[in-house]
Amino acid sequence: MTEDEFEEVREITPVSRDTGQPPAFAPAVEALPGLARVAAAACWHGTEWGVRTTARAGRRALRAATDPGEAAALARDATEAVAVIGGLARAVSAGVPLATALTSAGESLGELAEPPETGADHERHDGMTLRERGAELLERSRDVWNDDVAHPAYERILDELAPDEARILLLLLQGGPQPSVDVRTGGPVGMVHSQLVAPGLTMIGGRAGCRHLDQVPSYLNNLFRLGLVWFSRESLRDPMEYQVVEAQPDVLAAMHSVKFPKVVRRSIHLTPFGEDFCRTCLVDEDADSETSFPPHGVPPEPDSGEPPSSG
């Protein structure tokens, strides 16, 4: 846009000197050409982003009243916002296309409106007591603009998973519960006192395509630790699932290591928490809504007397 066209716009859209803005914002607002002010107002005040940003800023202002750290962060963000608006005015005046300048300014303001948790908010949490963090959590539960749909632990869990463990979770989600066997001592002595020879032998690693098959027991222990899987004492309904497992070399070696072996059939399931984690984090959103995955058993209640592990 040329200088003559800007002058034409200024004549069509008069600039009101009484903007009602704080003194710090007045020079930047007055420097904006009329067309830019109209477009910026349409972008910032005519969308849901504007409403949510206003609500978030209100919450930050309330926290700033009692938290010096939050007050300093809020003042710093306000100063940066003034700089962004001033930069928008200078960019448009220098001939940068209006759409490009507005997009760049919108991204900068969006970063200010939604600071990352790892920054000032994380440091603020470090200085809060557990009771204060609990009060903030309850405040968020009453926030009608809070649209969190995933459990907050999911992000941490993703950081604690190995790639092979993600493959195992997908196998359990898409293929259903998996067979597992324990090899114990049997025979007459085993009827009185059966000893565990080899626990939790499965084909999960091979079926899931794991690269490190020797790490599968550790993978399963980690998935259990994270609350994503549980080990049932019950066997699967289809006995054919176990015939393949019992023919594997590690199972045969365990059976041949004792005089009277006994095979105990178990199964491995996703927990309800683990199933929701897989649906949320590991499968495509469209596929999740259109696919019916095999059902898994529900872990026993803690007071049922049944241990959660097959060990």
Q: How far is CA 278 from CA 22, 75, 284, in A?
A: 49, 41, 10
3-class SS of residue 185: strand
Phi-psi region of 219 (alpha: psi -120 to 50; beta: other; left: phi over 0): alpha
Whether the model pTM is above 0.75 = no
pLDDT the model gives residue 310? 42
pLDDT the model gives residue 13? 45
pLDDT the model gives residue 201? 95
Do 187 and 241 contact (CB within 8 A), yes or no?
no
Digit-by-digit pLDDT tens for the chain (311 residues) are 555 554 554 554 444 444 444 554 454 455 445 545 545 554 544 444 444 555 555 666 666 666 666 666 666 776 776 676 777 677 767 776 766 666 666 666 555 554 445 444 555 556 678 788 778 777 776 766 656 667 888 989 999 999 999 999 999 999 999 999 999 998 776 667 889 999 999 999 999 999 999 999 999 999 999 999 999 999 999 999 999 999 999 999 999 999 899 999 999 999 999 999 999 899 887 665 567 899 998 898 765 444 444 43
Q: Tokens at residue 143, please?
A: 């926030």
